[in-house]
Amino acid sequence: MSSNAWQVPVDVPAQTPTQTDWLNFGWQTFVALDWPALSPNSGGVMGQPDTSSTIGAMTNGAIVPAIWNTFRDVSTIMLAGADPGTTFNKPTVIAGSCAALGSGNPVVAGFQPQYIDNSTYPTADAVLPRSYTNEVFTGPLVDQEGWYTFEQIFVAPSEYAYIQGNGYYLGQNQVKAYQGSTHSLVGFPRDGQGMNLPSWAQYGALEVKATWRVLAPVADKNVISRYYTQWGYFMQADGTTCQGRHCSA
């Protein structure tokens, strides 16, 4: 593994790439996205890799969150009529009965617990509100244990900077762009440059779509090691009932 394996690659290096080149590009992207994030306690911000760490790092029995797991949730960006703010570093707010539960479970210091709000949320591009159980399908995907799975979309800092900088978090601004003289959106910088991003965030538009399932520490102890896991909360569809669980992707 190279010394800069934490850096998300921009493109394949070859002018006429082979299938192997593309496979290597995909693998390098996978490794970089799964690199441990730098804790806010150490000065880290959302999406920043811990370049002194190694992939799969754990602290006090908990997996250090991967950088993709610290990207912005799409539900905090594509808001109906709202500006998502000028900074990418804006953690999701743990609300209501989930916040009242406190922690007391394995969470790496400096990081907040995983939070999935399965009550519906309004979006700028949807007629009906959406929830994490119907993000990908027209209905929920149920695992073999009978639990609903939760589909979550994470947006990288490079894509966020592009959306925010051009006002594309509002559908009407996208329509105006296509009605303009170029009949298209502003082109995305393929190398992520020109958007005031730190070097570790200079890469193309990128999203990670994760499917979470709930695991029980005792009943599922034989399979937990096969998953990337985080302890956290999920707010149920009624918007008031919160549960704390181990979730795995």
Residue-range domain boundaries for the chain: 72-248
pLDDT the model gives residue 38? 97
Q: Alpha helix locations (H) across 111-204?
A: 157-166, 171-179
**Which of 21, 26, 66 is CA-nearest to residue 47?**
66
pLDDT the model gives residue 191? 85
Contacts 24+ apart (CB under 8 A), 213-217: 213/143, 213/145, 213/147, 213/149, 213/150, 213/247, 213/248, 214/145, 214/147, 214/245, 214/246, 214/247, 215/245, 215/246, 215/247, 215/248, 216/245, 216/246, 217/246
pLDDT the model gives residue 128? 42
Name the residue type at position 12: V
pLDDT the model gives residue 42? 95
pTM value is 0.86
pLDDT the model gives residue 103? 64
**Which of 230, 210, 214, 207 is CA-nearest to residue 114?**
230
d(CA 188, CA 166): 10
d(CA 42, CA 65): 14
Regions of the chain where pLDDT drops below 70: 1, 102-104, 120-138
pLDDT the model gives residue 213? 86
pLDDT the model gives residue 83? 81
pLDDT the model gives residue 217? 79
